[in-house]
Amino acid sequence: MQSAFSPRLMLRLLFQPNIVFKELAELEPSSIAVFFKVALWFGVLPPLFAYIGASKFGWRLGTVEPLSLQKEILLSISVAYFIALLFGFISAAIVSRWMANTYGARQSLGIHFAMITVVGAPIAVGSIVHLYPNVFINVLVLIPALLWSMYLLYRGLPIVLHTTPERGMLMSSSLIGYLLVAFVSLLGITVFLWINGIGPLMGV
């Protein structure tokens, strides 16, 4: 059995997801290897694209003038974006591993890191649309990417984690529930901090 998680699996994810899942099901990857070889770089892409796009074009919110921010503010927002993605990835993998005992799934942290990385790949790749930060265009691209990630989670989790389709569906739904709660909580914390003057000033 192979012990390395190869980034080349990502290249076939769009056209051969079932084959990728079957290959992952045979792996025992190291969580450190998955994180530093693949997941970390996927996490860098969205904030990097957002920084480049916002620096060049400014954020476009409908028909109003583009919102341009100072480079220092954009950098701080991009770093916060990266930290939020990093927290979401690591916490999702840990929660998934915690759920594994309940749903009779594999409990190796490395395979949960690999699973979350594969599921998040469409969103990471789709974030290239941040290079032109128009809200409408970003929503138009990222919603299908999000739906594709959800499909991959429901389709791949029972295969990769060696559990039944029924348990896999329940586990996937629980994991999505956690991510939704975490996302809404993060938005609430962000709004609270900015209202109270903690955060970058929205200057032009």
> For residue 141, what are the domain limits?
16-195
User: Which pLDDT tens digit goes with each residue over 119-172?
Assistant: 998 899 899 999 998 888 999 999 999 999 999 999 999 999 999 999 999 999
Number of domains in the chain: 1
Residue 11: closest CA among 167, 175, 121, 91: 121
- Domain assignment present for residue 51? The answer is yes
How far apart CA 48 and CA 18 sit, in angstroms, is 30
- Domain assignment present for residue 11? The answer is no
Structure tokens at 171: 């586990």
- Domain assignment present for residue 182? The answer is yes
- Domain assignment present for residue 4? The answer is no
- Domain assignment present for residue 201? The answer is no
Residue 112: closest CA among 6, 28, 15, 14: 28
- Domain assignment present for residue 185? The answer is yes
What is the reported pTM?
Answer: 0.85
